[in-house]
Amino acid sequence: MLLAADGDTALTSWDQVEVGRAREDCATSAGGLLREFVDERASSVALVGSLRTNDLHRAGQHPQVGRLTVAEIVNEWVHHDRNHFKQMLTNVQEYAWRQMGNAQRFSLPH
């Protein structure tokens, strides 16, 4: 979608929980989800790399949050991806924690 310079382009919203349910993300292997994440981020990096300075000022109207510029969306992607990385780390740590037995004591406060 090409965003207008004046911010009049109508942006759409989506329900992340419903999309994940419809895609059956919970039934997808961790490896499959990770591959998808990496592929999507590679596409996003290519897209961001193709942007010119003037493109960053283009904007649209989002139904929940109002006017958004391309620059704001790109920054939100950084924030959003950091949350995904934190989620992945938390899941791996939780899995490892359950396998640690008495070694958990190394991580407990003294």
Q: What pTM did the predictor assign? A: 0.70
Q: What is the pLDDT of residues 74-102, one digit of tens each?
A: 999 989 889 988 988 999 999 999 999 99
What residues does each domain of the chain span? 9-99
- Beta-bridge mates of residue 68: 60
| Mean pLDDT (whole number) for 45-68 | 93
In the three-class reduction of DSSP (H, G, I as helix; E, B as strand; rest coil), residue 65 is classed as: coil
8 vs 83, residue with greater confidence: 83
Question: What CATH topology corresponds to 9-99?
Answer: Four Helix Bundle (Hemerythrin (Met), subunit A) (1.20.120)
